[in-house]
Structure 1
């Protein structure tokens, strides 16, 4: 067996190739080393949306199906972003079981604070106690817990006086009394308070008769068929009071369907853009204006005061204002106040 001797030329080519490969390998090692040095010598850029030891804020309203909560959340979200913290928003869609599950999830995530609008004022007691035992700051907005002591601060409209002011306005227009239907949401403290305020005011006139109460959860899609069913029952009425304007819009749709919108008076709470448009047209009589921008701002201020270890009042009550055709032009009709 014989072997051919490799040529010198072939051997030189192989050596050059191997030499080039080694140079490339050395360059790659050097580049990796430089990258590592740069990474550890230059501090990370923590922008307004990212900082060291950022707070994690959990947020859950009753539902995001109501624009009111979107306005409140805008104010809180802007502040959280400006502080370089992080927000976790969950929508329980009016399910208290889902809201409890979402809060449990947020606690497992390690939230530092919780902004909450309870779907059911009493059902959140145990999960609120759990959050408090972990040192989570609790900011309740729009309504309140059955046990307000569980909240570090509750920020809400003057819900009782919202209903009462509408009831007083109604009575001033109807000393002769009338037949009233009330659309309710008993699970929410805010709903109960508004309805109670209205009933307390109208009860001062013995000629005013409450002819029906219709549960609607403050929702358009529940209020509409609820009032339709009442109309179909044949019971006569002259006035509808709704705990909020979202329900009032459902009531307005039902009344319009049966040709009654220009005959039955309609009252609500919120002074939402749609309600103000109806008031301006003379198709809704009055609504008690809430100020979600201010509520959201107050919530954000209280939230960061708590996170900074400051003392805050246990309750912040934002006044309401009755909006009628006489003063609706002083409000921006197509926007929330």
Structure 2
């Protein structure tokens, strides 16, 4: 009897073990089926760009930056803010950026080519969306332009026309040939038969050279004057004074002085005054700056060829804004020129930032 009971117990235990094993098998099958039916996790490389994807163009990259809703940031590399011409241009670039809701970042190269390249690297490290650069030299312009292209951002050049080989989106600059032409014509018209000296700025920047060409063309076209001497400076009043003193001491005969900007003219006035010639040698300059207007009003200048650097700075900022928004811009824009005497002061486009300058460039729409 005991053996029968033990046999029954053994069989019950075996049946329980079999049931447990069957349940485990069913659960394993369910897990495998669920895993097979679950959606696969996307491969990591599907979100990364393909190795052979081509970089976006500067227009595409900048347009996407504008569309992203983030505040745009524009860089500018200026020649030397110690010069009135440059400083007022920069002020108008900054003002126009602010009116457009753009953050301006300005690098002052201080007439140092190495600082131009370092400044460009600095701007790119700050992720600017576009850049405007004062033209320096064909080689330097080309290097800066290539840096902008590599970064996929638009680039506008200011102040002078870069070499044709330099890749750029637009240029805003002076026609220095036309200024030289207008200055020689003004001298010939007001002081016929005169001999004048040209106290020039810094050679080698594609600025003084076109001035010389314009002067020569005006004289060839009949301007009744003769250029008897020229002297280079670094655009400052101090060097303008030194150059004029040297000319006076040389014994060179001249009747008129043409100064390459109104800061130089300020130095010329000091040298003439010290030599007792202030009221005997008239001065013609270029610019139309607040200093120039003051000198016209006081009689220290007979005339100036007004070329608003304010227009250049403001329009360069507007061009960058349009480029970053995928709009077409005028590739080459020259500043409007006005040969002005005291009587034309009210027609000069002001250099100080404001609504009048914005209106002169056609508004911001």
| Shorter-chain TM-score above 0.5 | yes
Does residue 284 of structure 1 match 2:301?
A: yes
Q: In the alignment, what sits opposite 1:309?
A: 326
2:335 aligned partner: 318
Partner of 2:253: 236
| 1:154 Cα deviation from its structure 2 partner | 0.6
Q: Distance in 2 between matches of 1:181 and 1:72?
A: 24
Residues 43-85 of structure 1: per-residue CA shift (max 9 Å, x gap): xxxxxxxx95333321111111123333333333234334443
**Residue of structure 2 equivalent to 1:92:** 109
Distance 1:130 1:71, change over 3 A: same
Paired with 2:340 and 2:223, the residues of 1 have a C-alpha distance of 26
Q: 1:291-326, CA deviations, whole angstroms, 9 ceiling, x for partnerless residues?
A: 233323322221111001222121112220011133
1:236 to partner: Cα distance: 2.3
Give me the whole-angstrom Cα distance separating, in 1, the residues matched to 2:301 and 2:101.
Answer: 44
Match for residue 287 of structure 2 among 267, 270, 288: 270
Gaps of 5+ in 2: 1-67, 358-365
Deviates more, 1:67-76 or 1:217-226: 67-76
TM, length-normalised to structure 2: 0.70
Assess if the C-alpha contact under 8 Å between 1:277 and 1:333 holds in 2.
no
User: Aligned-pair RMSD on alpha carbons?
Assistant: 2.7
CA apart distance, 1:283? 2.6
Q: CA deviation at 1:203?
A: 4.2
Tell me: CA distance 1:299–1:76, structure 2 relative to 1, closer, same or farther (3 Å): same
- Whether the aligned pair in 2 keeps the contact of 1:57 and 1:113 (CA below 8 Å) is yes
- 2-side partners of 1:262 and 1:329: how far apart? 25
Moved more, 139-148 or 152-161: 139-148
Residues 88 and 352, structure 2, Cα contact 8 Å, conserved in 1: no
Match of 2:95 in 1: 78
User: Does the Cα contact within 8 Å between 1:60 and 1:116 map onto a contact in 2?
Assistant: yes
Partner of residue 140 from structure 2, selected from 114, 119, 123? 123
Q: Is the 8 A contact 2:302 2:341 kept in 1?
A: yes
Match of 1:251 in 2: 268
Q: Is the 8 A contact 2:172 2:332 kept in 1?
A: yes
What are the Cα deviations for residues 252-284 of structure 1, in whole angstroms up to 9, with x where unaligned? 222222222211121111022222222223332
Distance 1:147 1:129 in 2: 14
Q: Give the aligned partner of residue 151 of structure 1.
A: 168
How far 1:330 moved relative to its partner?
5.2
Give 1:329 deviation, angstroms.
5.4
Which residue, out of 203, 209, 231, partners 1:214? Answer: 231
Asked if the contact 1:185–1:243 (Cα under 8 Å) also holds between the matched residues in 2, the reply is no
Which of 143, 153, 165 matches 1:136? Answer: 153
Which one is further off, 204-213 or 156-165? 204-213
Give the TM-score, by structure 1 length: 0.75
